[in-house]
Amino acid sequence: MSKREQGFTLIELMIVVAIIAIIASIAIPNLLAARLNANESAAIATLKNISSAQSQCQASGVIDVNGNGAGEYGFFGELSGRVAVRASTQSITPPVLSTAFGNVANSRVIRSGYVFQMYLPDLTADGVAELATGGDPANTAGVAPGQAETLWCCYAWPQVFGSSGKRTFFVNQAGDVLATNSAVTTYNEGAATPVRPVVGAAILSTASAFMNSQVAANSLGLDGNRWTVVN
């Protein structure tokens, strides 16, 4: 049996390793890009589902803290049926949003590489978050019933910027999903000090930060980023 039949030479092994390295250098970035696109697409779809859930919740009147017959928007804990709605012992049954959104931690939900946070308005239309574990049955956060009949908003930002996603997204009662590429302010939950959008981040830079101000559709927001409508 010849030496060549006994195995590969060192040169042949080096060539194989080099070919594998070249293939990996091409494939891995493409896989990462595909993952980012998939996560961002999932975040957009999720925000659209949240918008639909809020519309169902408000139209049903299941949350009506002031008892005037006009329904109000809800937090994740309420929409998912995990906790009782504000000023009630009853929960939304069946829930209008996936029960996965009942897994609220520190007032936020993590799904497919993105962090989601819901805001409802207080008396001044400033945004307040739900309790750390979801919902707010006793309304300790101070959501104003009259304001919550017309206002809500939700942000979604990368769990790890550049790895799980790059763009940050926003939706409110208008139903349009907005996106920013974070050219000025980069949102990143995974940073040493997490960078999260404040409630007024997507509000026009020439307006106030309150939820009843005009949203920065295709314009600069208060955070200095340009927010564009996602089609």
The DSSP-derived string for 61-117 is T---TT-SS------HHHHTTSSPPTTSS---SS-SS-GGGG--BTTBEEETTEEEE
pLDDT for res 4: 52
Single-letter residue type at 161: F
- Bridge partners (DSSP) of residue 215 are 203
User: Which residues lie across from 179 on neighbouring strands?
Assistant: 169, 228
DSSP state of 157: E
Residue 184: per-residue pLDDT: 95
Nearest to 47 by CA among 121, 99, 97: 97
Give the list of residues 6+ apart from residue 138 with CB closer than 8 angstroms, or none. Answer: 86, 87
Buried b (16+ CB within 10 A) or exposed e, 43-78: bbebbeebbebbebbbeeebbbbeeeeebbbbbbbb
pLDDT mean by block of 10 residues, the chain; 231 residues? 62 76 66 84 98 98 96 98 96 97 98 97 97 97 98 98 96 97 94 97 95 95 97 78
Q: Kindly list the distances between the CA atom of residue 12 and the CA atoms of 2, 7, 9, 15, in Å, as whole numbers in the listed order.
A: 16, 10, 5, 5
> Are the C-beta atoms of residues 159 and 190 closer than 8 Å to each other?
yes
Distance CA 68, CA 63 (A): 11
Domain assignments of the chain as residue spans, ordered by start = 10-229
- For residue 152, the SS3 value is coil
Cβ pair 215, 202 in contact under 8 A: yes
H or E element that contains 200: none
Q: Which two tokens stand for residue 103?
A: 């897994």
Residue in the structure block whose two tokens are 């799904």? 111
The two structure tokens encoding residue 61: 């009147």
- Residue 31 is predicted with a pLDDT of 66
How far apart CA 121 and CA 136 sit, in angstroms, is 13
